[in-house]
Amino acid sequence: MPKIYICKRLNFEKSGDFMHTKRAAREIALGLRSVLTREEHEEKSRKIHSIITALEEFQKARTVMSFLNFRDEVDTTLLAEKIIESGKHLILPRCAPEGVLIPAEINDLRIDIEPGKWGIREPKKENLVTANPEDIDLILIPGAAFDRQGNRLGYGGGYYDRFLNRLRPETPKIALAFACQILPEVPVDPYDLRIDALVTEEGILWFKSSSYQT
């Protein structure tokens, strides 16, 4: 298992060009994420779910944009169901051509979802109910790797980097990930937007004061 071996041996503090490439950083973080056991994945996902739902930002939000987990991402299916059950508006992304992310309102995960690009579950194209990004009160974001400075490394499509600029400036942008995906540093470009907070099974890291915080 060479990827795991590299991850264990790499000295992040003294790493050179290898660490400062997006591809290498993704491989490291995703490699560490991939070796979580099923039990660890489920337990850590439950902890992240509990932290999110306890946040004032979540409780006060009327419209929440989330994502449905793909492969070994943090499980967000139960969280999406919780959003609907609590009477909030659930917004999920659909990938469109040219790196465009379409926000769509979902009422039922059983009938409103279909496999989209790369097999990711997303809103059905038929009868798509598009949402206004400015109506979103909270957005939960996926990602491959993160650091403790609020930098996020996505999967390479740039969908979220383009979409986040369409939100209200005060809308909390909170990423969900496992603690093993936090690296000492992730390489970013000038157009890469920082997140406001990162939630892992170990707690929440705030990088920007929320409009709800005092």
Is residue 145 a known part of a binding site? no
156 is in an annotated binding site: yes
Residue 99 assigned as binding residue: no
33: annotated binding-site residue? no
Contact 28, 183 (CB under 8 A): yes
Residue among 135, 130, 134, 110 at smallest CA distance from 121? 110
Contacts of 113 (CB under 8 A, 6+ apart): 68, 92, 106, 121, 122, 123, 124
43 is in an annotated binding site: no
- Tell me the backbone φ, ψ of residue 110, rounded to 5 degrees: -80, -30
Tell me: is residue 23 an annotated ligand-binding position.
Answer: yes
Is 117 annotated in a binding site? The answer is no
Say if residue 32 carries a ligand binding annotation: no
203 known ligand binder: no
Tell me which residue has tokens 């071996």: 5
Half-sphere exposure of 89 (CA within 13 A, CB side): 17
Residue 5 in marked binding region? no
Tell whether 185 is in a known binding site. no
Q: Is the dihedral of CA 113, 118, 120, 123 positive or negative?
A: negative
d(CA 122, CA 75): 15
| Type of residue at 59 | Q
**Is 191 a known ligand-binding residue?**
no
User: Is 116 a known ligand-binding residue?
Assistant: no
* 29 labelled binding-site residue: no
φ/ψ (deg, to 5) at 65: -100, 125
Q: Which residues are annotated as a binding site for substrate?
A: 68, 73
Q: Which residues are annotated as a binding site for ATP?
A: 22-26, 152-160
Q: Which residues are annotated as a binding site?
A: 22-26, 68, 73, 152-160
